[in-house]
Each structure stands twice: as structure tokens, then as C-alpha cells.
A = this chain, B = another copy of it.
Amino acid sequence: MKVIDGGVTSPKGFMAAGVEAQIKYKNRKDMAMICSKAPCVLAGTFTSNVVKAAPVKWDMEILEKGKPVRAVVVNSGIANACTKSEGLKACEETAKKAAELLGTETHEILVGSTGVIGMQLPIEKMKKGVELLVSKLSDTREAGNDAERAIMTTDTLPKELAVEIELSGKTVRIGGMSKGSGMIHPNMCTMLGYVTTDAAISREMLNKAVKEDVVDTFNMISVDGDTSTNDTLLVLANGLAGNDEIKTENEDYLKFKEALHYVNQTLAKKMAADGEGATALFETTVINADTKENARILAKSVITSSLTKAAIFGHDANWGRILCALGYSGVKFDPENIDLYFGSKSGRILIFSKGDAADYSEEEATKILSDPEVTVTVDMKMGEETATAWGCDLSYDYVKINADYRS
């Protein structure tokens, strides 16, 4: 697998665009489109929140039908959540307009929204936005970046990447872009993730790969424990790479899944690191747990603890809070049997062992915790299962951003 400079337009046959439609923001791009030249197989996952935004309902229906799709239209600024039938109507009108201009069917167009809950989308502006988008569709690197920038809200950095693999002698690419900061625990500004690939793969196998992979990637990040109404991950595969279609769990499937995992994990980590107000990516790896599920629960409990996150912001080696977060996770273990490590590019130190603080230097610990990527490793000594979760620190800016997000 090779990482290449790229994004959603890197796989063959995928075009994108990002434009200023003035949905809510002024003087910035706020509508994006991804469009494939050929019909795509679709896989996806959505928020578990019972309050689902209109675009989530729209996309879920399309996914359930299982028919090929062609394009995605996304806006930022307004989430189109809690907008009743008028909100669903806006999805339909947007999709209809795009379908007309692209010469496809309305049900081949997916939609996505992120922003404030409870406001209706200005449908005329949306339609004009779609016109602009279609007129600007391009398969260039810049077009992909334009699309990514258009879906950002409180994000401070664009999140995109692309990778290349070889399947049955053909070059296959996977590209992705995302915004926001979570999936199971996303920031209200919502996680949206779009992955494109020119791999030829059956709907069943694409779905399997996505479902199996999100539990260890997008579902393992959290910024603030709030699960959005809009979270969406869509993966579109148009088959234009010309590889032998993946229909079983063969070697090609495993190669594809590994590459998809890299794309998903990278996008997920980028979201955690760019969590609202974050100054550091906070990674927790639990090793030697008794079950995979317990490893996941423990790792997530640490990265979601407000007290631990505040300590990371303060570069404070307050390991008691980590032990405490492991303790209330619901997983049973003997606190006197685990080891805790802090690590970063500055080094790695044992901080807690055999029920007691290890003999570490506070100075060294503070140095490690001052790096922009901090890792806690927890050795449970109970089995052989491992899981990693990603979050960020809790800073003044998180409060600032969220105390008056709407104004």
C-alpha cells in the first residue's frame, strides 16, 4: 500500500467541487459535491441517535434499497435536523436538482448536512448551489480539496488522504475526506466522512469491509461524548480500476480492507486531533485485555474522561484519573495487576505498576505530555486483545467555541 497525495478525486472517475452557496456562512465555500462518472456500489453507517437529521434518513433509505448511486451533495452551516417533513422535502429537492443536471435519477443522489440544528435549508440557494457545483465538477486534486473545505464547520484543518494498492494487476485507489470529530461520540458539528474508490467490489463485500472496520476506527474516536444527529460515513466504489471484482473474502479483499482501514483510521485520527479547542491528539491503547470488546470499552473510557482530558491539556501526569476512568468503564479487573505508560515522540515511561506509582520523573512525564500527540498504554495482563481509541484534550477553547456556537 502506498500513500499518495490526494483525496476523494484520486480514484479513477471521481469528480468533486466546492462552492460558495451562502447557505448560512458568508465568504466561504459551504456546498460540496462528489460525483462518479460510473454508477457506484454504496456502503455506509449512520448516527445511532434516535433524533436523525433529514439527510441521514434520506441516505439510509437509499442505502437500504441497495441500488447503485452516482453523487453526494453536502452543505455546511445548517444541519437540516429537527426540520420535519420540510427538511426531507429539502433533501428531495436538492437530490432532484442534482439528478436533473447530472442526467441520473433522484434516488441515485445522496445528501449530507452539518451545522445548526432546527433551521430549515434555504431551498432556492441549495438549488443554485447544485447548479454551481455541477458546473465546476473536476477530477483535479484541487477540486477534492475544495469539496473538503466546503464541508468544514469548526474544523481548523482539512482532513483528506488517498492510498494506492494493486489488485489483480490493476492500480486501485481509495480516497477520503471528512469533517468534525466523532462517530459514536461526535462533536455536535457532526462527523461526515466520504470515501471513494475505483475498486471493483460487490455491494456485500464493500458493506462487510466497512461494517467491520468502523468499530475500530470511526467508532473509536470521541471529542465530547455527544452523538450527533447527522453522523454519516459513506463509501462509494465505482469499479473503474478494472480489477477482478471482489466477491469473496479472498486475498484482494484483505488487501482492500487493509487499505480502507488505513484511510478510515487516518481520517478518524485527524478528526480527534482537530477536536474543538484541542491542543493535542490523545491516544489510548489497551493491550492484553481479556476480550476485544473490553479493550475497546476501556480505551474509550479513558479518552472520554473530562478530568483526564483536562489533565492532558495541563500536561499533568495525573494517572489517578486514568485509573479512575478505567475503573468506572464497567469492565471488571484488578487495579493492582495493571501497568500504565505515557508516551509521545519524546519517549515512553512506566507510570503505574503493581498497584502503585512507578518511579518516574515528573519532569520527564510533563515533557512527554507537552507533545502534540500523547499516548497512554494500559497493559491489562488478562489476555491478548488490543484496542486503540483517539480523543483530544479539553481546553478553554472547547468551552469558548461551544458556549455560543450559534452566534
A394 interface residue (CB < 8 Å to B): yes
A1 interface residue (CB < 8 Å to B): no
Residues of B within 8 A of A357 (CB): 82, 118
A261 to chain B, nearest CB (A): 26
Interface bracket on A: 35 or more
A214 interface residue (CB < 8 Å to B): no
Stretch at the interface among A58-66, A240-248, A308-316, A376-384: A308-316
- Asked whether, in the complex, the Cβ of B402 is within 8 Å of the Cβ of A188, the reply is no
A253 interface residue (CB < 8 Å to B): no
A296 to chain B, nearest CB (A): 17
Number of copies: 2
Of B226, B318, B327, B332, the contact of A305 (CB 8 Å cutoff): B226
Q: How far is the CA of A395 from the CA of B399 in the complex (A)?
A: 6
- Asked whether, in the complex, the Cβ of A307 is within 8 Å of the Cβ of B402, the reply is yes
Residues of B within 8 A of A404 (CB): 311, 314, 316
A84 interface residue (CB < 8 Å to B): yes
A406 interface residue (CB < 8 Å to B): yes
Q: How far is the CA of A56 from the CA of B355 in the complex (A)?
A: 16
Stretch at the interface among A28-36, A43-51, A191-199: A43-51
Residue numbers of A with Cβ under 8 A of B are 47-52, 79, 81-84, 116-118, 187-188, 224-229, 304-308, 310-311, 313-314, 316, 318-321, 323-328, 331-333, 335-336, 352, 355-357, 394-396, 398-407
